[in-house]
Chains A and B, each alone.
Chain A
């Protein structure tokens, strides 16, 4: 399935939101939502993007689909630079892209029946209409576990999980190559979440889809992704094809991993809980963005921005001391495993 051809290449992508004030809307500063990140997404894989709230995950996804224009950097989609494309040219490329939003209620027009909502992409692109459209919509609904009876209902008549599946059906209507999943399961409960995630995996196999999976939930990302990228304050801290739970090499990733709760009431582990607040992206720290909260921070971290270094197997880490630190989160992991195996 994976043939190592990058579908998307992002290079030095930046997105700054200007902060304006006063009568003449003078620019007072910038929110550095995404600050110089680069990554590839290979055809057929799932890249998980994980991080705290406000770290720029969603902005990355939205910029990638050109919902908002990037400040600088290039985004290459199937060999074509889309960062500078006009909106008209972009419109045609959009057939290859889909998006699933966090809040399924808000992402469905309350006025459109399910038939119209799912059929809309086919209609606006002139792919199908009339009876053919209806057949296509039924086919899509069947794929996500809904049926013909639901065609003429309105979004408010469905449950959260069903709505999310409708959104997935809509995203798949144009047979896209890339689908951005923007925290698709964070508004549903755990059982529905599992169901939706498995549906997405099945659909990925069936349609040979490429996912950019954005979430703040590490376990979900681990379940879904072939590779995981950890973001912090607009920068990618670590990107690994390995199991992030086992082999986190960046102190921040380690902290994230150890904060995943252990389903064992007797466990009193030393979760490396981070102290302090996330610094403001308007005025980010110099050097390594993580240094004010890092227990291993040294002088060099304040002055020099660490590059992403390859630690083998394409495991990229942006830390001056990658591989040299005793991250000490294994106790947590072992306790988790102990719970799972029943010891």
Chain B
């Protein structure tokens, strides 16, 4: 119990790796390698962040970064106090988390007027950057602190989840702060020579329009993340319940819904997305909707087939015999056993959505040219490959790959953790 409290207070990766004087000498070589990678990696990332912030075009990069850190530290303190209260027995767990969410909202509400007072012109961007970045950092901290000790016991799956989520959170944080840490404006053209290879002044080179690629890489995640998040959320909230309903009801409902879904599924995905996007017009939300429509059937089919299997299992019959209602059976027995498959589809879906979004931008149905977007750079860079400008599509492409990798790792790890059977 004592040990556990210790982990609660200084826990997470940093507890596991914390240098204890007496144990410093007798650590294994693996431990040292991991220690150096984790600590060195964090330091490099932090140094890079502050360097970028110091040299940013916005002049207040350092301040913004510091504010996000301040928010995160406040959150962690609140969480620690909450945990102490829970251990005292004065608070229940559910109430503790409710309180945490309330504190998040209060912090956001305090920051709005503050930002309005100090920065009347750029207030909304500032507010989004600081609150968004701060919350992302807080959640990262929360994850490391609360879930790391538990996830560690799950072995590889836990490590996978944590690394996947860390990648995703890092990209989200970067995207939130983008307006304040980019060295140049990502969309202004001719900030430097056209197609300049990576140099000290333009670390990732410049595009065919003379834009700074580093700025575009930092800022370009916004659309991708928005599109991926919205489309996956829409897919999930429509596909899973519809699949559940169809297979649970059976009969005519099932036949009609399956027919509709199959006919959507029969179209080639990208072609259908292009058709819908062309109908709706360009824009992030429209892109998300067109991608969502394409991927709903995959959720539907996975959930439906899973429900058909699970529904016939004896434990569902046992639930019927013990007098459970239909909705109890659906939500307590069938849905939890089906969700892991849906989560796996989701993790693949995230990566797919990112790639489809890039595809939509490619055919000109994505976003206006003046918005920084990895998909756009990937596309335009393709033409410059011939003249040897490899950097224009390489770096945005790398970011797409890293983001997709993060989602996939997180999805895979979560799947294993959410299915107790696989623990064996």
Contacts and interface: CB of A to CB of B under 8 A. Distances in A.
Interface string A58-100: 0000100101000000000000000000000001101101110
B314 A98 contact: no
Interface string B307-325: 0000001110111111111
A128 to B, nearest CB: 13
A173 to B, nearest CB: 7
A20 B384 CA distance: 62
Contact of A92 (B320, B323, B419): B323
Interface in B309-358: 313-315, 317-325, 328, 333, 336-337
B378 to A, nearest CB: 41
B182 to A, nearest CB: 46
B424 interface: yes
Contacts of A65: 321
Nearest to A167: B318
Contacts of B419: 110
A125 B424 contact: no
Interface string B401-424: 000000000000000000111011
Nearest to A117: B315
A125 B323 contact: yes
A94 B314 contact: no
B321 A67 contact: yes
A107 B323 contact: no
B324 A124 contact: yes
Contact of A67 (B315, B317, B324): B317
A97 B318 CA distance: 11
A124 B333 CA distance: 12
A156 interface: yes
Given A111-B336, A156-B421, A106 B315 contact: yes
Interface string A96-131: 011101110011111100000000110011000000
Contacts of A67: 317, 320-321
Interface residues of A, number: 29
Contact of B323 (A91, A102, A103, A109): A91
A67 B318 CA distance: 9
B76 to A, nearest CB: 29
B321 to A, nearest CB: 5
B317 A124 contact: no
Nearest to A87: B326
A94 B323 contact: yes
B420 A110 contact: yes
B315 A107 contact: yes
A163 B59 CA distance: 66
A111 B337 contact: yes
A107 B314 contact: yes
Interface size class on chain B is 20 to 34
Contacts of A62: 317
Contacts of B323: 91-92, 94-95, 121, 124-125, 174
Nearest to B313: A106
A207 B45 CA distance: 67
A17 interface: no
B166 to A, nearest CB: 27
A124 B318 CA distance: 12
A106 B419 CA distance: 15
Given A109-B337, A154-B420, A170 B317 contact: no
Nearest to B421: A110
Contacts of A154: 420
User: Which of B322, B323, B424 has most A Cβ within 10 Å?
Assistant: B322
Contacts of B324: 120, 124
Nearest to B337: A111
A67 B424 CA distance: 33
A278 to B, nearest CB: 24
A120 B424 CA distance: 25
A73 to B, nearest CB: 20
Contacts of A98: 321-322
A108 B318 CA distance: 8
B421 A121 contact: no
Contact of A156 (B314, B315, B321, B420): B420
A124 B331 CA distance: 13
Question: Looking at A67, A95, A120, A154, which has the most chain B CB atoms within 10 Å of its CB?
Answer: A120
A156 B420 CA distance: 8
A199 to B, nearest CB: 19
A110 B314 CA distance: 12
A67 to B, nearest CB: 6
Contacts of A156: 420-421, 423-424
Contact of B321 (A94, A102, A106, A110): A94
B325 A103 contact: no
Closest 8 pairs between A and B when the two form their complex, measured CB to CB: A107-B314, A121-B322, A94-B323, A101-B314, A124-B324, A109-B315, A99-B321, A154-B420
Interface of B: 313-315, 317-325, 328, 333, 336-337, 419-421, 423-424
7 contacts: A101-B317, A102-B314, A106-B313, A107-B317, A110-B419, A120-B324, A174-B323
